[in-house]
Amino acid sequence: MATMTPSVRRPPNRSLHRGRFFQPRQPAFWFYVVLVVLTGLVSVVEQNIYRGMSPGGWALSWLLLALYGLPVLVIVYSLDLYEREPISLVAAAFIWGAVAATTLSAVGNGGWGLTVARLGGPEFAARWTAALTAPFVEETLKGCGVVLIYLIARDEIDDVMDGFVYGAVCGLGFAIVEDVFYFMSVFGGQPAGVLQGFFLRVIASGLYSHVLYTGLVGMAVGVVVSRRATEPLRRRLAIAAGLCALAVFGHFLWNSPLLDLFPAEPWTGSDWLMIPIATAVKGMPLLVFVALAVFLARRRERRWLQDALSGEVGLDGISAAELDVLGSPSKRRAARRAMRTRAGSKAGSLLHRLQREQVNLAMVASRVPTAQDPALVRQRAYCRSLRDALGAMPGAASASSDFLERGDH
């Protein structure tokens, strides 16, 4: 059967994407590595102290935060409809947030907190330091991580959604390590305190935290670096400044004594119900805004895909029916499911590969100057070879045609 399968050879498209974190020719890579290693030493010492304080509480903290962090990571990663970001770069964004940004923020918050106390006095500082320091210090340092990811692999942030993914993942890393700090230092570190902290900081507040703020900062980076061809610099900077200001304001409001509906301690009975309401009052507006921004960014991505491939329909790379399926993530998944059911998992994987390469076809088509560009011709041929290989698999051709013809999916 293998001899019946047409040969499939990936075209040389390395120049299209750097697509990986390991970039020893980039100064940004080495800058990132040095900072993460140095701050990582501090983080290891810190985590050892927590572990020594209460091994059970420390392990429980990480277990609970893994239960929260993993689904959030998967959801954020999956938000990018067409071009999933390279795992190594996503991991680098997470590590920056978890290690470098947390450690550097502790230093920065201390210094700027001292400044607030000197300027406003201790009573003012007690009420306002968290609001006046952390939003600026932490968003700046997390944002620097997204900028470094861009400088390491410039072609990877080619849309606002890409910036959101890297920013949100960076914010998630930050939130997890910060939560461990709070569970161990502020909530006492014993399992009962850790559970209380988990309720307060994750169950009641987890939707509104650093993932949103840094997601917005990442979008700002995405706007500046990915819309050079369509927006003048001044407009891009204005949009980015607005997104960053909103992130900082959301963080400021969260940390400030404004709109503080938290019940007074010790909490009993209905107080525990009041806590999620209190956090929602502060965090829900920003969550709604970010959800709307992500929705618009995804719609923009969908439009981009349709525009980029409209000239390719009917050529070797993609058919009209395939484009219809490609434009909808749910239809893509359904097509793969149908293919797996009718022709086996290998056929499902091959269809997945074809869909991915058709998205790459859109990227090539949007970047090359002419429809006869050799890179575009190669990518079309590659898609066609994948389709031919798929068609040669028993049951795949009928599964594909049935699915595409059915139309409503």
- What are the residues binding another protein (CB under 8 A)? 13, 15-16, 26-28, 31, 35, 104, 107-115, 117-119, 121-123, 125-126, 129, 133, 136-137, 140-141, 144, 147-148, 151, 154-155, 228-229, 364, 367-369, 373, 375
Pair of tokens at residue 67: 């239960």
Nearer to another protein, 145 or 206 (CB): 145
DSSP state of 171: H
Question: How far is the C-alpha of 157 from the C-alpha of 107, rounded, in Å?
Answer: 29
Pick between residue 368 and residue 392 the one whose CB is nearest to another protein: 368
How many CA atoms lie within 13 Å of 28's alpha carbon, on the beta-carbon side? 16
Nearest distance in Å: CB 104, another protein? 5
CA 276 vs CA 205, 248, 284, 330, 347: distances in Å: 7, 22, 11, 33, 47
Min dist. Cβ of residue 160 to another protein (A) = 18
Cβ-based neighbours of 399, under 8 Å, separated by 6 or more:
338, 339, 341, 342, 343, 347
Nearer to another protein, 66 or 186 (CB): 186
Query: Minimum distance between the CB of residue 402 and another protein, rounded to whole angstroms?
Result: 37
**First and final CA of the chain: distance in angstroms?**
30
Closest approach, Cβ 129 to another protein, in A, equals: 6
Residue number, 110 or 314, with CB nearest to another protein: 110
> Minimum distance between the CB of residue 111 and another protein, rounded to whole angstroms?
3
For residues 4 and 377, the answer to whether their CB atoms sit within 8 Å is no
Nearer to another protein, 121 or 314 (CB): 121
The residue (of 69 and 222) whose beta carbon lies closer to another protein is 222
318 pairs with which residues across the strands?
313
**CA dist., res. 231 & res. 226, Å (int):** 9
To another protein, the closest distance from the beta carbon of 126 in angstroms equals: 5
CB of 342 to another protein, least distance (A): 37
Q: How far is the CB of 110 from another protein (least distance, A)?
A: 7
Residue 322 or 357: which CB sits closer to another protein?
Answer: 357
Identity of the residue, 130 or 404, whose beta carbon is nearer to another protein in the bound complex: 130
82 versus 403: smaller Cβ distance to another protein? 82
CB of 360: closest distance to another protein in angstroms? 11
The alpha helices in 314-373, defined as continuous H runs, are 320-326, 329-343, 345-367
Per-residue tokens: 39:
């701050």
Backbone angles phi, psi at 261, to 5 degrees: -105, 10
Nearer to another protein, 354 or 365 (CB): 365
- Which residues lie below 8 Å from residue 19, measured CB to CB, with a gap of 6+? 86, 89, 153, 155, 156
- 298-301 long-range contacts, CB within 8 A, separation 24+: 298/79, 298/81, 298/161, 300/159, 300/160, 301/80, 301/81, 301/82, 301/159, 301/161
Minimum CB separation from another protein for residue 284, in Å?
28
* Residue 50 CB coordination number (10 Å): 19
Neighbours of 192 (CB within 10 A): 11
Residue 207 CB partners (closer than 8 Å, separation 6+): 283, 287
Q: What sign results for the dihedral spanned by CA atoms 350, 354, 357, 359?
A: negative
